[in-house]
A and B are shown apart, each in its own frame.
Chain A
Amino acid sequence: MVGHSRPLSPVSDSDSWPPVIQPPMAIPHCASSSSSPSPLHPPSMFSPSSSDSTSGGRARFPRFHRPSSPHKVSLRIHGTSLRNSANQVAMVEVEGGPNKLGSPSPITLAKDEKSGLLANVSSASIIIVGASGDLAKKKIFPALFALYYENCLPKQFTVYGYARSKMTDSELRDMVSRTLSCRIDKREDCSEKMNEFLGRCFYHSGQYDSEEDFSNLDRKLKLQEGGEACNRLFYLSIPPNIFIDAVRCATLSASSSRGWTRVIVEKPFGRDTESSAALTDALKQYLEENQIFRIDHYLGKELVENLSVLRFSNLIFEPLWSRQHISNVQLIFSENFGTEGRGGYFDSYGIIRDIMQNHLLQILAIFAMETPVSLNAEDIRNEKVKVLRSIKPIHLDNVVTGQYNSQTKGDITFPGYTDDKTVAEGSLTPTFAATVLFIDNARWDGVPFLMKAGKALDNRRTEIRVQFRNVPGNLYKGNFTSDAEESNNELVIRVQPDESIYLKINNKVPGLGMDLDQSNLNLRYASRYSNEVPDAYERLLLDAMEGERRLFIRSDELDAAWAIFTPLLRELEEKNITPEGYPFGSQGPISAQHLASRYNVRWGDLNLNQ
């Protein structure tokens, strides 16, 4: 296992490749060793090589990163960047297999800078389709800037905004600049960096269904592109009804001819099994599976990423991770605001499609999956699919839906869901749902997995709660100051806000008596880690550029996820089930508690001592 002394070698022997791994302590993730003084020196990055060119670019091998400094080399391995002192590096890019776009699989070899062969760098163009939209402004551009600041973008990159509005480059830059910010802990040269970044941002106005407009874009892109490989990443931040048109035009007219072309797609991925399958089929007319990056930004959240680390890098959790010790698992999402005049999209989807079928179910799959063979994307996604396919479709009996009503508190009146002008009068769309799922496998048989998602509730949070069983034959039964039912251990992973992990344990209250209470073994991120937790979109964009697919949804995962929810969604609609009303700012419909108690569960977030 050598990294630093590895001679230049062709890509194909990637099996012999694992480079030496130095303890990755205190090394910035992407940033090359020399925080480059000039904007011309961000590191280039390259996708993982793959020996299996047909399987969608399995990121089986470490990724490499090329820093600008000739004397330092960063290696990025499963997202970890490493550094050693040698100045030789081989860089590799293999993408795709049979490329429908007719471009050959490009292979890039970059050599030692000193050897003077450094012309072989790749460039990346990131095209944000729907650049004037909310997501683009609030999340995508800021995430790209953060990656740029952290030196995580290739040395040669351009960002193109694409939308129908007429706008000049500088108008786009004005718009973008308003939402950029530097991390609290990294504000050195911030405005300088911003200007550099904005200088790489351009705008192209066009129709989403016009091949011609995309051809024009292609021409502009080519002007900016240079180097051996020109990779293109399209981010579709547009309404679902124009997905296919945009994909068709982009791929036909603006695919990279000398590098990879990838497309990031945002939810909704259909609204049931059929429409999702139709969407996938349509996408696959123009794209390979390995070019499609279905984003579920919850998978990019720090604590969701950490879930696997907790489970698989610690000895103490895995023995407890089964029906033998876990009595139930709760996945809770709540927002403390309603649709606030933007209910148009939401009303045609509802909370189940918007939150449960994707975000919460994805977390559940990662929580419950068996140990994967490796951390590679395909291995992990294989395990996730297995879990999803072991889940029985949800029965209507196991679901509670709700919709918030208006509520007056003092002088302030909070509007009900149907008071929203963008929502149809008499809408039956649920803004709250609670459900119970069961996984029919050896590990989880009989363990209720409860999900709860709602808008306009009393607080805002996303968390995973693992409630453990009773202590059999508890010697201290009589000593609990509170309800013995509430004395079960509970592991809470709070995804947001205020990331933390805590384990509720029973503890003796110090003193002369023998009173027990619940205390937390606590890890609060804000106190433990000084660095700002990056936004989920940063991680996901970076991964998409690197071809790391672990956090993106594969077609078969999506199918399996819809299979669980589609019968229920159909029944809800066919039977016109009326959601239970709950006041804005409340804890949600009371039936959610009845549903839980049917399975002998109490919602952990409603406990007094959370």
Chain B
Amino acid sequence: MNCTNPHSCFSIIPVSNSSRKSNPCSSTSRSSAGNHVVSPLKIESFPRMRPMIPHRKGFRLCSSNGHSLQSVPGGDASVYAESDVKYIEQGDPDPLVYSESAASESMLSITVVGASGDLAKKKIFPALFALYYEDCLPKNFTVFGYARTKMTDEELRDMISATLTCRIDKSENCEDKMEQFLSRCYYHSGLYDSEDNFSELDTKLREKEAGKLAHRLFYLSIPPNIFVDVVKCASIRASSMKGWTRVIVEKPFGRDSESSRELTRSLKRYLSEDQIFRIDHYLGKELVENLSVLRFSNLVFEPLWSRNYIRNVQFIFSEDFGTEGRGGYFDHYGIIRDIMQNHLLQILALFAMETPVSLDAEDIRNEKVKVLRSMRPLQLEDVVVGQYKGHSKGSRSYPGYTDDPTVPNDSITPTFAAAALFINNARWDGVPFLMKAGKALHTKRAEIRVQFRHVPGNLYRKNFGTDLDKATNELVLQVQPDEAIYLKINNKVPGLGMRLDRSDLNLLFRARYPIEVPDAYERLLLDAVAGERRLFIRSDELDAAWALFTPLLKELDEKKIAPELYPYGSRGPVGAHYLAAKYNVRWGDLSADD
């Protein structure tokens, strides 16, 4: 399953075990008795240089990328002494025999700051447990919850256990595993701006670490106004002495170019760039990960991937519910900051980037920055904003956005936005990239739609009827729910006539892969532990992203642009159609045959 491929982890597989279906995350050296005898282990040869980190015991450094993690310049490799990193040349004729005794014990401490919050409960702890279940966490690890609430370890465990589940296909020993996991969870109560409290945490952590080489990962699941305080206290008081210390930061990363830059500057006072892991959980989604695979591991797509064949690209996010009484945070940010500037723009960058030199994080992020910097800032006339209003269906009535008690009555925060963006480079000049994001719409989904151009001189023109737009090819990547990839093609309807229709070349993940798709947070946590930065946002990416949206956001604020109202549960404001029509586009999600 995960990390199943030897190539995807540090490929240490036992010589005897040639099965590719083994679960390498559950490294063979991991044994319940704690007696690590298995070896010798063989290093598979790699296409390029691969560093080995010896400080692992019973723990495979997996990442979701399946290649070298230490190739990142200036990365955490610096925490290891030069001599600790062994480079294995490609095709090394001597399989490196690697026995347990050669490695010294290492340890991972994960501290979830804001442990009593929603995200921690719903996503972070369950993701950690899933990683534990899959044997993707190091043998020695502890999880610390940190928050202001007074709580005992037991109370934390109770709280967490309510949200843990096993995957449907892996429920074996589920209870046991949960118990084991929970026993590694601890709680420390403290203030977010108290260096003393973090010192106490440090003491507790050290106790658990017991002199092992300890790495520390802090997950900041807290409101933005206390980001910097926590980072300050944690890094000053609770950094790892010998191992690495990394901090995962959640959005919002500021609310415009200035505030974002200010946040970065503050973070960098206490952390170096390679310690900061800005999470955008959309980048951890299966189909977003798959986007690069589709483009770069198949011959058939890349030749089509340009203005020559692609007419427009659409990034669509819709939720079928509103703020539902939790609009406080949202009202301050709005849909553009909440969804577009980060999630959709990140997907766009992955979609449109040039082929990177390699799959290394820096190479990919370099290409993403290039795309972002090739885009012109959004113009007000290329944007439509909307806000949902109350709507009654039969006896049920759905509240409008401003009916939410946590939202000011006169709020003009957009809950819907549509935008047209352009990339001024050789590949994409003139191709509209449309984005649409909204709450309280008629469906829940996130998808990428690639609409291709008309067939020039189409021989079958007559068979399509009048609307040739309905006869263009379209590639759809359905990110959620119900992951799927389908390519709409024109096909002859079987029969004696010559009737054409649009049929799908279809890949429905549910049907093809009878395994549960892991949550985005699992992948991202795993990568952060492994030091794989590909799916995290680098400072310059963030800058470039804000540069595109800041002028627009400022203008919306200054001119107090009133959003177009749309009924709860509708398809959104009609202005979105006009915007698309201005660029000769139809929203693919609203077409009849979708």
Residues of A359-376 at the interface with B, using a CB-CB cut-off of 8 Å, are 371-372, 374-375
User: Given A80-B498, A316-B309, A513-B64, are A505 and B491 also a contact pair (CB < 8 Å)?
Assistant: no
Instruction: Contact check, B300 vs A320: say whether CB atoms are below 8 A apart.
Output: yes
For residue A489, CB closer than 8 A to chain B, the reply is yes
Q: How far is the CA of A506 from the CA of B296 in the complex (A)?
A: 9
Instruction: Contact check, A519 vs B512: say whether CB atoms are below 8 A apart.
Output: yes
A146 to chain B: closest residue by CB: B496
User: Given A489-B298, A510-B509, are A310 and B460 also a contact pair (CB < 8 Å)?
Assistant: no
Instruction: Contact check, A24 vs B465: say whether CB atoms are below 8 A apart.
Output: yes
B452 contacts across to A, CB distance below 8 A? 315-316
Interface string of B475-515 (1 = CB under 8 A from A): 00000000101110111111111111001111101001101
Stretch from A190-198, A201-209, A474-482, A580-588 contacting the other chain: A474-482
Cβ contact of B2, chosen from A77, A81, A512, cutoff 8 A:
A512
- Min CB gap A61→B, angstroms: 12
A77 contacts across to B, CB distance below 8 A? 462, 498
Instruction: Contact check, A314 vs B490: say whether CB atoms are below 8 A apart.
Output: yes
Cβ contact of B462, chosen from A21, A514, A520, cutoff 8 A:
A21
For residue A471, CB closer than 8 A to chain B, the reply is yes
Stretch from B242-250, B269-277, B353-361, B371-379 contacting the other chain: B353-361
Interface string of B1-28 (1 = CB under 8 A from A): 1111101110000000000100001000
Q: How far is the CA of A23 from the CA of B7 in the complex (A)?
A: 52
User: Given A23-B465, A313-B458, A513-B1, are A521 and B293 also a contact pair (CB < 8 Å)?
Assistant: no
Instruction: Contact check, A505 vs B497: say whether CB atoms are below 8 A apart.
Output: no
Instruction: Contact check, A533 vs B494: say whether CB atoms are below 8 A apart.
Output: yes
Cβ contact of B459, chosen from A25, A316, A375, A512, cutoff 8 A:
A375
Interface string of B371-389 (1 = CB under 8 A from A): 0000000000000000000
For residue A29, CB closer than 8 A to chain B, the reply is yes
Stretch from B214-222, B516-524, B555-563, B564-572 contacting the other chain: B516-524
Instruction: Contact check, A512 vs B136: say whether CB atoms are below 8 A apart.
Output: yes
Instruction: Contact check, B303 vs A522: say whether CB atoms are below 8 A apart.
Output: no
Instruction: Contact check, B504 vs A523: say whether CB atoms are below 8 A apart.
Output: yes
Q: How many residues of A contact B (CB 8 A)?
A: 86
Q: How many residues of B contact A (CB 8 A)?
A: 86
Q: How far is the CA of A41 from the CA of B491 in the complex (A)?
A: 32
Instruction: Contact check, B497 vs A29: say whether CB atoms are below 8 A apart.
Output: yes
B497 contacts across to A, CB distance below 8 A? 24, 27-30, 76, 79-81
Instruction: Contact check, A314 vs B489: say whether CB atoms are below 8 A apart.
Output: yes
Instruction: Contact check, A508 vs B300: say whether CB atoms are below 8 A apart.
Output: no
For residue A152, CB closer than 8 A to chain B, the reply is yes
Instruction: Contact check, A488 vs B299: say whether CB atoms are below 8 A apart.
Output: yes
For residue A538, CB closer than 8 A to chain B, the reply is yes
User: Given A489-B300, A512-B134, are A539 and B496 also a contact pair (CB < 8 Å)?
Assistant: yes
A507 contacts across to B, CB distance below 8 A? 290, 293-294, 485, 507
A471 to chain B: closest residue by CB: B299
Instruction: Contact check, A309 vs B500: say whether CB atoms are below 8 A apart.
Output: yes
A150 contacts across to B, CB distance below 8 A? 496
Stretch from A128-136, A332-340, A348-356, A496-504 contacting the other chain: A496-504
Describe B's contact surface by its main secondary structure. loop
For residue B205, CB closer than 8 A to chain A, the reply is no
- Min CB gap B562→A, angstroms: 41
User: Given A315-B473, A319-B303, A479-B7, are A514 and B65 also a contact pair (CB < 8 Å)?
Assistant: yes
Instruction: Contact check, B296 vs A476: say whether CB atoms are below 8 A apart.
Output: yes
Stretch from A7-15, A108-116, A524-532, A553-561 contacting the other chain: A524-532
A315 contacts across to B, CB distance below 8 A? 304, 309, 452-455, 472-473
For residue A302, CB closer than 8 A to chain B, the reply is yes
- Min CB gap A479→B, angstroms: 6
- For the A-B complex, the count of residue pairs with Cβ-Cβ distances under 8 Å equals 263
A512 contacts across to B, CB distance below 8 A? 1-3, 25, 62, 64, 131, 134, 136, 518, 522-523, 526
Q: How far is the CA of A475 from the CA of B354 in the complex (A)?
A: 12
User: Given A29-B495, A320-B303, are A514 and B507 also a contact pair (CB < 8 Å)?
Assistant: no
Instruction: Contact check, A30 vs B299: say whether CB atoms are below 8 A apart.
Output: no
Instruction: Contact check, A314 vs B359: say whether CB atoms are below 8 A apart.
Output: no
Q: How far is the CA of A150 from the CA of B500 in the complex (A)?
A: 19
A327 to chain B: closest residue by CB: B299
Cβ contact of B356, chosen from A475, A515, A539, cutoff 8 A:
A475
B509 contacts across to A, CB distance below 8 A? 510
For residue A181, CB closer than 8 A to chain B, the reply is no
- Min CB gap A445→B, angstroms: 19
Cβ contact of A529, chosen from B5, B460, B493, cutoff 8 A:
B493
For residue A228, CB closer than 8 A to chain B, the reply is no
Instruction: Contact check, B496 vs A538: say whether CB atoms are below 8 A apart.
Output: yes
Q: How far is the CA of A150 from the CA of B462 in the complex (A)?
A: 23
Instruction: Contact check, B4 vs A314: say whether CB atoms are below 8 A apart.
Output: no
Q: How far is the CA of A266 from the CA of B401 in the complex (A)?
A: 73
Instruction: Contact check, B299 vs A469: say whether CB atoms are below 8 A apart.
Output: yes
User: Given A371-B459, A531-B494, are A25 and B465 also a contact pair (CB < 8 Å)?
Assistant: yes
- Min CB gap A447→B, angstroms: 14
A513 contacts across to B, CB distance below 8 A? 1-5, 8-9, 62, 64, 66
Residues of A308-336 at the interface with B, using a CB-CB cut-off of 8 Å, are 308-310, 312-316, 318-320, 325
User: Given A314-B490, A507-B294, A514-B64, are A325 and B299 also a contact pair (CB < 8 Å)?
Assistant: yes
Q: How far is the CA of A191 from the CA of B490 in the complex (A)?
A: 36
Interface string of A446-478 (1 = CB under 8 A from B): 000000000000000000000011110111111
Instruction: Contact check, B463 vs A476: say whether CB atoms are below 8 A apart.
Output: no
Cβ contact of B458, chosen from A147, A312, A499, cutoff 8 A:
A312
Instruction: Contact check, B455 vs A312: say whether CB atoms are below 8 A apart.
Output: yes
- Min CB gap B291→A, angstroms: 9
Instruction: Contact check, A515 vs B5: say whether CB atoms are below 8 A apart.
Output: yes
- Min CB gap B558→A, angstroms: 43
Instruction: Contact check, B496 vs A478: say whether CB atoms are below 8 A apart.
Output: no
Residues of B267-314 at the interface with A, using a CB-CB cut-off of 8 Å, are 286, 289-290, 292-294, 296-300, 302-304, 309
B47 contacts across to A, CB distance below 8 A? 477-478
Instruction: Contact check, A374 vs B459: say whether CB atoms are below 8 A apart.
Output: yes
For residue B466, CB closer than 8 A to chain A, the reply is yes
Instruction: Contact check, B465 vs A505: say whether CB atoms are below 8 A apart.
Output: no
For residue B351, CB closer than 8 A to chain A, the reply is no
- Min CB gap B268→A, angstroms: 30
Instruction: Contact check, A319 vs B304: say whether CB atoms are below 8 A apart.
Output: yes
- Min CB gap B507→A, angstroms: 5
Chain B residues at the A interface, C-beta cutoff of 8 Å: 1-5, 7-9, 20, 25, 46-47, 62, 64-67, 131, 134, 136, 286, 289-290, 292-294, 296-300, 302-304, 309, 355-356, 358-359, 452-455, 457-460, 462-467, 471-473, 483, 485-487, 489-500, 503-507, 509, 512-513, 515, 517-518, 522-523, 526
Per CB-CB distance, the 7 closest pairs between chain A and chain B, nearest first, are A23-B465, A512-B2, A29-B497, A521-B505, A514-B66, A513-B8, A79-B498
Show 30 A/B contacts (Cβ-Cβ < 8 Å), sorted by A: A77-B462, A80-B463, A150-B496, A302-B492, A302-B494, A306-B492, A312-B458, A312-B460, A318-B455, A319-B303, A320-B299, A320-B303, A471-B302, A477-B47, A487-B297, A499-B494, A507-B485, A511-B2, A511-B518, A513-B1, A513-B2, A513-B8, A513-B62, A514-B289, A520-B507, A522-B506, A523-B506, A528-B504, A531-B493, A531-B494
